[in-house]
Amino acid sequence: MSLGGYSGSDPQTREAIKYAISKEIVLVASAGNSGDKAAPVEYPAAYPGVVAVAAVDERGQVWEKSTFGPETTISAPGVGIYHASAKSTSGYTVGNGTSDAAAYTSAVIALVRSKYPNLSAGQVINRMIKSASPPADGSAVPNAHYGYGVVDPAKALEPNPGVDGGPKENPLLGRGESQGAPASGDPTDDASAVPPVDVPVAGAEGNPGITYTLLGAGGLGVLVVAGVVVGLLVRSRRRAAAAAAYPPPPAYPYPGAQPPPQQAPPYQ
């Protein structure tokens, strides 16, 4: 899902996301293109259970405009990406953005699900998290800029019995929302009501500042999601002006966060 907005208050969109996750769909979304400390990770990436993707350049360094926060799950190439574009006379262009990074991540997940069709959505996400390459800057993971590291297609596809035999639940369901889940009479709408499993995502930075960004159209190739989710997200963005102020993000790190094994930096 290469789109985003600051409001996660629409109950129908939230229910649509929960429904897709309940049907073993791996949802992938771009974190945002603001790069501003005052701008939190955007929705739908910020919903519990959704893989929130940041962008890195060809050296594996985090892209300066990549939105960051405690929801960041993984990072992927998103700078200088050659892709289709309706704005170019040739039909192609080179662009930057977390939209491209989300598309790249979606492609890796599609490969994993193709090679290992019996894995649950949660096991696929765990496989991607635990096979990620460490950040090129040597920073410890998980963190708010890289998540659990840079997605590594080859490592993600290698046999990994330890991960494949682990919990089937989505490990991101226990992740809190830095913008704060809306108040509701239904306790299932509160991310904190869902117990964390296996690998809760951590983050170090974030701020409840309000922003609204429509991500670049360059991100194609998103993981298949029910059309109703996209339609509801569009309506959710229109309601952004009515969003309430949000509480501060949760403390870093989340209890029980386990970094992936150290590997060689990417792009060598």
Which pLDDT value is given to residue 88?
Answer: 87
Which pLDDT value is given to residue 21?
Answer: 96
Which pLDDT value is given to residue 161?
Answer: 87
Q: What region does 151 belong to: left with phi over 0, alpha with psi -120 to 50, or beta?
A: beta
- What are the pLDDT digits (tens) for 71-116? 999 999 999 999 888 988 999 999 999 999 999 999 999 999 999 9
CATH code: domain 11-242 is: 3.40.50.200
Taking the domains of the chain in order of start, what are their residue ranges?
A: 11-242
Which pLDDT value is given to residue 17?
Answer: 96
| Side chain identity at residue 64, one-letter code | E
The Cα–Cα gap between 190 and 184 comes to: 8
The Cα–Cα gap between 64 and 67 comes to: 8
Which pLDDT value is given to residue 7?
Answer: 83
Residue 235's contacts (CB-CB under 8 Å, 6 or more residues apart) are 10, 12, 13
Which pLDDT value is given to residue 183?
Answer: 65
- Between the alpha carbon of residue 82 and those of residues 33, 98, 125, 171, 173, the distances in Å are 18, 14, 26, 32, 33
pTM: 0.70
Which pLDDT value is given to residue 184?
Answer: 55
Which pLDDT value is given to residue 181?
Answer: 77
The answer to whether 98 touches 33, Cβ cutoff 8 Å, is yes
- Report the relative pairing of strands 51-56 and 28-30 from DSSP bridges: parallel
Which pLDDT value is given to residue 113?
Answer: 96
Which pLDDT value is given to residue 165?
Answer: 87
3-state helix, strand, coil in the chain (%, to 5): 25, 10, 65
Which pLDDT value is given to residue 10?
Answer: 87
The Cα–Cα gap between 145 and 266 comes to: 16
Which pLDDT value is given to residue 185?
Answer: 40
Low-confidence stretches of the chain (pLDDT beneath 70): 183-268
Residue 185's contacts (CB-CB under 8 Å, 6 or more residues apart) are none
